Amino acid sequence: MRFYVPEWDDNVDADYDFIHDEHSFLNPSERDLSYIWDIFGRETTPIDGVLISREQVEDTPAKFDRITQNGVYNAPLLDIPEWLPTISDCGAWGYKSLPFPPYGNEGMLKFYEDLSVTVGVTIDHLVLGSGHTARLYIDDRAFPDGFKKSDLPDEILDQVDVMSDTWPSDWPDYVRQYEPSICDTKDIKKFDPTVFEQRLPALLSDLEAHPHAVYRDDDMSFRYELTLTNAREMKELYDEKDYSFRLMVAIQGWDARSYAEATKKVLDMGYQYLGVGGVAGSPEQAVKDYVTAIGKSVKNFERSHNTRIDTHVFGFAKTGAFDTIGKSGMTSFDSASMLRAAWTGPDNYHLDSDQRYDAIRVRYPPNTANLQEAVEIALRSQEMLCALRAFDADESISAALIEWYQSASRALEGLEGYLQSHRHNEQYDSSTLRPIKQAFRDDYQYGEKIRANFSGHFRGQLVKLLRKDDAENPIPFEKYQKLIKGVREVFDDWTPTKLHEIEQREERSDEYGTFDQLWIIVADYTVQIGDEKHRDAYEEMLRREPWTECDCRICREHGIEVAIFRGNNRNRRRGFHNTRRFYDEFERSLPKIAVLTRGGTALSNTDTIEAFLRENRTEFWHKVHDLPVAEVGTVTANGVHEWWDEPPRTISFDPLSMQKEISEFSMRYQGLFIDGGSWTPKEELMDAVRAADCEVHIIDDPDELRTAVLDRLGYESDFLPDTMLQSGLTEY
Ligand SMILES: [Zn+2]
């Protein structure tokens, strides 16, 4: 079972300076970016693969070129490691309100090949709605100026589902066979607004030949069928060439029956890898029903054809559905919800699916703030951060506040003198702001303290003055003084907030960094910043200190910073941590297990590993081909080859190489079940596997091997979930 994460530029600055809240370099292209796999490394990365949608790759033309020219494993910035499999799809959510997917089959095959992904997915169109939906599509480029979808008469909006979106200027070729009228649009032909004032039948007849409108009586069936037609056509094209990726078919449906029907159809087309689309956002019970129905169809097919089928569930990863996903034989799924939850709402720091906390929001000044407001918010934030760190370290909060105050004072004190003697230095001769900003940060002794304590607004204005100012054409020094005076007006009266009360509490107790001491400043901060509504949640978080209970690499290294809601570098790291915690639950419910047999010289005569297994490990294959959760494959000196793979070019069973490959492989697994009938691995190999914290079982009898795997999963011999039970109908 594999867990994938969709890639949406989820990276952080590897060398972010948390103390001064600054990036390692101001120029993003100079930063060392860390993705989740860079932070955790091969052994503990909490994902088994990456999902890359075309929509994301097309985010900017530069990104598209960078990734299609180099492939996802070599693209600068992204650079996915070779041990992580990749799936690429079209990103059907992105074009859900277009009448057709904007890509053609041939173009997508080329795209996947360019990306060098492990798996490419056929083109699906989301089945939206749950009944036979009449739908009118409108290209919003053709609306008269100022006209919007909501300006359409209610009579129309009530009778048909209207979808307006910006259509592509060129449709792929296949669209011509369905709607030739929308394919020849050199210029935009605007709608006459009076056309929408007619009754529906007259409107539809007027729009029939319009190049910017499409109407369908039963759009749901159209999308369902189009998805299947694409599947058929893409399979034919795929089989004509020797593509390097594996092809997955995406299916759509609206209930368990339609999904099961689609499953049967694509299995008959010869697909061995299914992707269940359109379930993201559906209620958990509904998805369980679909997955159960699909799983039944798949198992029937596997058993009647003595084959194996992999199935991926797109955009769904609820811990409550793990049992169903496992028992129904799904082999992978993906979700970014635990990652994104870190910054999209409350309950954003997870220990597990039940224990979720609210990270403390420490805010940056809004862009609309004036200088004084910005300075005040920046000072308050730095105080909070200082106090939170002292709390986490069980140190005196008052001492930390005093030390912070003194360092901020020094930074402001020294500024005028520094500017006086250095403002005309060479490093400030730049026409753009960023190099000046970087030079100021590096050159002024307290440079990195200016933005953190006195706001980006202040540093920004300072840098603008430096840009204008040069030796030949100096600006009056009073301009700097006036700017600094504006900051002083806030800071000269500043004393660390609630210092006295904190000191008193520290004196009364013989401990430092307690919740009671911290709470004085947190409570005050929430009032000052308007976050009182989060107070109860903060109290729960700070009393519990959940980050001290997490031993993930991020929490160990950054402590309380992960529990602070502030900017990409804290928030996305918290998302990576959430993903790690999710993965722990996933591994407990759906352990990573591989069922392996030794390869043989006959591999050189077969086209696929499956054919080898069927012919040369007949009894083994017969007993394990339909096992859920586990991955099935064969081992050679080149590594583990999964059942669907092609055999390696050179066949060798060199024991040392096999040992090396297996110990690397087992790093990410919890259990290996080895077919003892074909292979008795050496004790060294077993030790290497156990050293990677992976159990190893060698079982001679295939029947016993099957039982052992199911026992390990805690599944009955007839493991498929019961459809009736799933639907809650048993009480009738
Ligand atoms: Zn953690």
Distance 576 CA to ligand 1 centre (A): 8
Indicate whether 6 pLDDT > 90: yes
Which pLDDT score, from 0 to 100, does residue 728 have?
Answer: 45
Distance 290 CA to ligand 1 centre (A): 33
Helix or strand holding residue 339 (H, E): helix 337-344
Question: How is 478-510 classified by DSSP, letter by letter?
Answer: HHHHHHHHHHHHHHTT---TTHHHHHHHHHHSS
Q: In a 3-state reduction of DSSP, which class is residue 729?
A: coil
Whether the CB-CB separation of 642 and 631 falls below 8 Å is answered with yes
Distance 603 CA to ligand 1 centre (A): 44
Which pLDDT score, from 0 to 100, does residue 156 have?
Answer: 86
Per-residue pLDDT reduced to its tens digit, 447-480 = 999 999 999 999 999 999 999 999 999 999 999 9
- Token readout for 447 is 């440079």
Q: Where are the beta strands (DSSP E) in 570-611?
A: 593-598
Least confident segment among 158-162, 271-275, 434-438, 650-654: 158-162
Distance 559 CA to ligand 1 centre (A): 8
Distance 66 CA to ligand 1 centre (A): 32
Indicate whether 545 pLDDT > 50: yes
- Per-residue pLDDT band for 619 (boundaries 50, 70, 90) equals very high
Indicate whether 695 pLDDT > 60: yes
- Token readout for 365 is 């000044």
Distance 456 CA to ligand 1 centre (A): 30
Rounded-to-integer distance, Cα 218 and Cα 135, Å: 7
Distance 478 CA to ligand 1 centre (A): 50
Q: Could you tell me how far CA 192 lies from the centroid of its own chain?
A: 43
What b/e readout covers 595-629, taking b as 16+ CB neighbours within 10 angstroms? bbbbbbeebeebebbbebbbebbeebbbbbbbbbb
Distance 351 CA to ligand 1 centre (A): 8
Per-residue pLDDT reduced to its tens digit, 45-100 = 999 999 999 999 999 999 999 999 999 999 988 889 999 999 999 999 999 999 99
Distance 554 CA to ligand 1 centre (A): 5
Average pLDDT, the chain: 94
Instruction: Please give the average per-residue pLDDT across 374-401, as a whole number.
Output: 97
Q: Which residues surround ligand 1, an ion (CB under 5 A)?
A: 550, 552, 555, 577
Indicate whether 729 pLDDT > 70: no
Which pLDDT score, from 0 to 100, does residue 127 have?
Answer: 93
Bridge partners (DSSP) of residue 275 are 250, 312
Distance 578 CA to ligand 1 centre (A): 7
Which pLDDT score, from 0 to 100, does residue 723 have?
Answer: 66
- Per-residue pLDDT band for 510 (boundaries 50, 70, 90) equals confident
Looking only at the bridges linking them, the beta strands covering 639-642 and 86-89 are unpaired
Distance 109 CA to ligand 1 centre (A): 39
Rounded-to-integer distance, Cα 554 and Cα 83, Å: 22
Distance 165 CA to ligand 1 centre (A): 41
Indicate whether 1 pLDDT > 50: yes
Instruction: Please give the average per-residue pLDDT across 344-354, as a whole number.
Output: 94
Distance 538 CA to ligand 1 centre (A): 18
**% the chain with pLDDT above 90:** 90
Distance 349 CA to ligand 1 centre (A): 9
Indicate whether 724 pLDDT > 70: no
Which pLDDT score, from 0 to 100, does residue 130 have?
Answer: 66
Which pLDDT score, from 0 to 100, does residue 132 have?
Answer: 67
Q: In a 3-state reduction of DSSP, which class is residue 616?
A: helix
Per-residue pLDDT reduced to its tens digit, 276-325 = 999 998 999 999 999 999 999 999 999 999 999 999 999 999 999 999 99
Best CA proximity match to 376, nearest among 529, 566, 568 = 529
Distance 558 CA to ligand 1 centre (A): 9
- Put simply, whether the predicted model's pTM sits higher than 0.85 gets the answer yes
- Per-residue pLDDT band for 264 (boundaries 50, 70, 90) equals very high
Per-residue pLDDT reduced to its tens digit, 698-723 = 999 999 999 999 999 999 998 988 76
Helices (H) and strands (E) in the chain, counts: 27, 22
Least confident segment among 185-194, 269-278, 357-366, 459-468: 185-194
Distance 564 CA to ligand 1 centre (A): 13
Distance 563 CA to ligand 1 centre (A): 9
Per-residue pLDDT reduced to its tens digit, 190-222 = 998 888 888 889 999 999 889 999 999 999 999
